[in-house]
Amino acid sequence: MYFTREFIWLIKETLSIEEIIQNEGVELFKRGSNYFVALCPFHQEKHASFVVITHKQFWHCFGCGAGGDCFDFIRQIRGINFPLSVKYVATRYGIQLSDDYNKKRQSQRNKDRLTFNAGNIDTSIKNDTIIF
């Protein structure tokens, strides 16, 4: 299974990272228009060093150094790999997986056929997708 970069970008554009993080049980405190803090769920601490920068769709912990986007968060808090975290977020928040996935798979198949006939390997297809 793979997801296109466009699909991953679409999820990030559609959903709010603070909502995804809060729904995993992390209590966020607003500190500015684009900024939340929390006690880090990945290490023990008494003072909040976990920040979420909403307009950049990014989180970071100054205590333990963990950080990333919403998929990195799900990956780490649920202990799953990146593709599963994309699938988890898409499924939980009602973003259609199947249409995009099937369409891309079909076009990938056609591309593979053309590539095979042409007798050369087009690596740009691989660069456009995340395969696992």
Residue 48 tokens read as: 């909040």
Give whichever of 51 and 89 is closer to Zn ion, judged by the CB atom.
Answer: 51
> Cβ of residue 45: shortest distance to Zn ion, in angstroms?
7
> Cβ of residue 70: shortest distance to Zn ion, in angstroms?
17
> Cβ of residue 41: shortest distance to Zn ion, in angstroms?
8
3-state secondary structure at position 131: strand
21 binds Zn ion (CB under 5 A): no
User: What distance in Å separates the CA atoms of residue 67 and residue 59, rounded to the nearest whole number?
Assistant: 5
Q: 38-77 mask for Zn ion (x: CB under 5 A)?
A: --x-xx-----------------x-xx-------------
Phi, psi angle pair for 42, to nearest 5°: -105, -10
**Burial status of residue 16 (CB atoms within 10 A of its CB: 0-12, 13-18, 19 or more):** middle
Binding site for Zn ion (CB under 5 A): 40, 42-43, 61, 63-64
